[in-house]
Amino acid sequence: MKLVIGSIVIAQFALAQGPSPAAGPCAPPPPAPRANPPARAPRETVPATSEDRAAIARLSDLPAWHAGAGDGDYSIGPEYAPAPEQTKRAGVPEGKVVEFVMDSAESKFYPGVNGPFERHVCVYVPAQYVPGTAAPVIVSADAYGMRYALPTILDNMIADHRLPVMVAVMIANGGPERSMEYDTVSAKYADYVEAEVLPRAEKQAHIKVTKDPEGRLTFGGSSGGAVALTMAWFKPELYHRVLTYSGTYVDLRNGPEAPHGAWEYLEHFIPDNPAKPLRVWMEVAQNDIGADTASANRRNWVIANQRMAAVMKAKGYHYQFVYAKNAGHVDAKVINQTLPQALEYLWKGYPIQK
């Protein structure tokens, strides 16, 4: 993978959950810790009820997820193997990754209220990109693509005509402000990306990003998964495709628009509103956060994702829900096996040049 440095800086891909070691330009960020700190005082933990345990147990009996699977609920595991698309292949044109750094002091949205920070952004540009054309885009939280070989996956799948020629904008989180950015249920983060990140990415990488929401996908894990859905939910005129691992659809940050935080998606937002033009791929793991706690706490990741799938099905959404056996929160072995096929499912129906 060719690397172009927009700003030669050594900085940290800081996560709000804890300190991070220094990382070089476009280096994969460190693995995310298992949990986000709650944005308010933790409530007393109540064990899962028999009904909660039975609902989770039934997920192991879901049909096996497979290549070409359609909408619906599936399971995967307990054994995993990395997808071959993650390995570089001889003769496949390699894209480039352009990196730049954004200073919180320059942001009108996230100016560093908890302390100044620098945000790395990595932009993947495929070898087949024609300058000046509007390209489909993947926008990822926590710079997820750099951790899970997204540039190599896109190189291979674009070359095989399994995905359109697209760019990817992989945005590191706001360090001490990660939970505020990702767990807040509002349009603010989507507005920030649109107003400050994408214009800078276009300038630094010499690309043009499509304005067509059919050509825009959001991607993230844990709280980054929650914000991926939040971006599309509040801004469906900007994003129609959503990919999440261990999405934090739980009650972490509440506010006027969401008294129960991201739990509102499964409790009220999706069931009480007309279906939006979204296509969603979502995963949760057997040993995910809060799996042994009561759903009444609204902090059981497994129940939250399972109920998300149920309300999406009831409203007629195009979605896939995958339950990962013998796996944990944003488990790398699950992502390494499933990411290419998840992308293929999400981009179904989008024109691919042969």
* Domain 2-21+43-346 class, CATH top level: alpha beta
**Residue with structure tokens 């995967």?**
76
Task: Name the helix (H) or strand (E) containing 180.
Answer: helix 178-183
200 torsion bin: left (phi>0), alpha (psi -120 to 50), beta (else): alpha
User: What is the reported pLDDT for 22?
Assistant: 31
pTM for the predicted model, two decimal places: 0.90
Closest CA to 35 of 18, 12, 52: 18
End-to-end CA distance of the chain: 23
User: Domain map of the chain by residue range?
Assistant: 2-21+43-346
Which pair of tokens denotes residue 74? Answer: 């599936």
Q: Which tokens is 156 given?
A: 């291979």
Per-residue pLDDT of the chain (354 residues; tens, 9 = 90+): 555 444 323 232 233 333 332 334 555 544 443 334 444 445 678 999 999 999 999 999 999 999 999 999 999 999 999 999 999 999 999 999 999 999 999 999 999 998 999 999 999 999 999 999 999 999 999 998 888 899 999 999 999 999 999 999 999 998 889 999 999 999 999 999 999 999 999 999 999 999 999 999 999 999 999 999 999 999 999 999 999 999 999 999 998 889 999 999 999 999 999 999 999 999 999 999 999 999 999 999 999 999 999 999 999 999 999 999 999 999 999 999 999 999 999 999 999 988
Tokens of 212: 């067509």
pLDDT at 42: 57
SS3 343: helix
Concatenated DSSP letters of 139-176: EEGGGHHHHTTHHHHHHHHHHTTSS-S-EEEEE---GG
Burial string for 123-150 (b: 16+ CB within 10 Å, else e) reads: bbbbeebeeeeebbbbbbbbbbbbbbbb
294, 337, 293, 302: which is closest to 321 by C-alpha?
302
